[in-house]
Amino acid sequence: MTGLSINAALVRRILVGFLAEEVHKVGLKRAVLGLSGGIDSALVAYLAAEALGPENVQAIIMPYKQSNPESEAHARLVAEQLGIEHCVIGITPMVDAYFEMFPDADSMRRGNKMARERMTILFDHSAARGALVLGTSNKTELLLGYGTLYGDMASALNPIGDLYKTQIWQLSEEMGVPREVIDKKPSADLWAGQTDEQELGFTYKAVDELLYQMVDLRKSRSELLAAGFEAAFIDKIYAKVQNSHFKRRLPVIAKVSNRTIDRDFRYSRDWGK
């Protein structure tokens, strides 16, 4: 675990500075985020309130009728503790209206639709309020592809996308995220009793350790075996990272000209900022 333990005070400084600078330099001062009641969005809310001031952070709580009521309670707890503006916008009417046309849709389709419904609400508020949408995907789920493309993976700025889940826990302790939010089992909250670790089939602790050694340390398969990881686990995770890579890239453009966007037309996003 040594490689995964972070200097939380230092990371806090870097991420708070990141949010303040990246919001202010595009001429804005506000941010909006979806609060699920989980630890990732709670942590982002804490970072944003510190970076921009609680008066400049707006949280939107977007439950579906099957969401665990505890989730909404935890989201409210976070918003109230921070003193940030928050409101509840249920997504049941729009999601249900759509699936009336497709009653046979499975839970994955339904979950994706919910995630994208939330995204459209956040971007609508972004435009209405001049606020940047903050992403709440951590490094573990981004690498595994455990998220919805253009849903929860969509944002303007993501302060926590380079932190593994186990590091999210450490930074949340540092920031004073409520104990009940830190201690509960991570869940996408798409159906009752769902937990991430059950659905994934491994613990965050185990997969973070493997991802850290595989990705950050670039250890080879034989080195990972020597480090004590199971062959089946290594191969399964490697395949997940590989097969979800499309989710971490822009859509593929068919090249015909001399300067194709992102291929040989290359600029930083902060161009002129």
Nearest to 48 by CA among 17, 80, 94: 17
257 is a site residue for another protein (CB under 8 A):
no
Q: Which stretch binds another protein (CB under 8 A): 6-14, 56-64, 114-122, 204-212?
A: 6-14
Q: How far apart are CA 19 and CA 47, in angstroms?
A: 8
C-alpha separations of 176 from 132, 135, 140, 162 in Å: 24, 20, 22, 20
The two three-digit tokens of residue 210, written as one number = 């493997």
Q: How far apart are CA 61 and CA 64, in angstroms?
A: 10
Q: Which stretch binds another protein (CB under 8 A): 17-25, 85-93, 173-181, 238-246?
A: 17-25
Task: Let me know: does 200 contact 146? Beta carbons within 8 Å.
Answer: yes
Nearest approach, Cβ of residue 116 and another protein (Å): 24
Q: Which stretch binds another protein (CB under 8 A): 46-54, 178-186, 205-213, 265-273?
A: 265-273
C-alpha separations of 27 from 23, 37, 106, 124 in Å: 7, 30, 43, 19
Options 109, 179, 221, 273; binder of another protein; rule CB under 8 A: 273
267 is a site residue for another protein (CB under 8 A):
yes
262 is a site residue for another protein (CB under 8 A):
no
Nearest to 133 by CA among 113, 151, 154: 154
Site for another protein in 151-180 (CB under 8 A): 157
Options 17, 83, 93, 176; binder of another protein; rule CB under 8 A: 17
The two three-digit tokens of residue 99, written as one number = 């699936």
Nearest approach, Cβ of residue 266 and another protein (Å): 4
Q: Which residues bind another protein (CB under 8 A)?
A: 2-3, 5-7, 10-11, 13-14, 17-18, 21-22, 25, 157, 265-273
